[in-house]
Amino acid sequence: MDDKEVLKIEISKPIAEKFRRWVAERYGMRRGALSRAVEDLIAKAVGESGVGGVEAIVGIGLLSDYSWQGEDLCEALRARHVSDRR
């Protein structure tokens, strides 16, 4: 298990509500989504590369033989994943 540290912060209620909606849209309603979103944003802000998020998705594409033609990346990866299971 990764080493974790608890950061206790306080932010305004309107910002917290907007952030929760943003996280739900992008990360889903899964357990740990808020923590993951905050960690991804902090990593991006301090210049950490390759830490989850878009970098991880792009890395999957770079490691495969898939040739992206400008279509929606999520749909392309989903279609490829489904076709690989058949």
Q: Are 77 and 59 in contact (CB under 8 A)?
A: no
- Give the model's pLDDT for residue 61: 55
- Give the model's pLDDT for residue 4: 86
- Give the model's pLDDT for residue 50: 53
Please report, for the chain, the start and end positions of each structural domain, with discontinuous segments joined by +. Answer: 10-48, 52-86
In the chain the first and final C-alpha atoms are separated, in Å, by 33
Averages of pLDDT over runs of 10 residues in the chain (86 residues) are 84 93 90 91 77 56 61 70 52
- Give the model's pLDDT for residue 20: 92
- Give the model's pLDDT for residue 86: 46
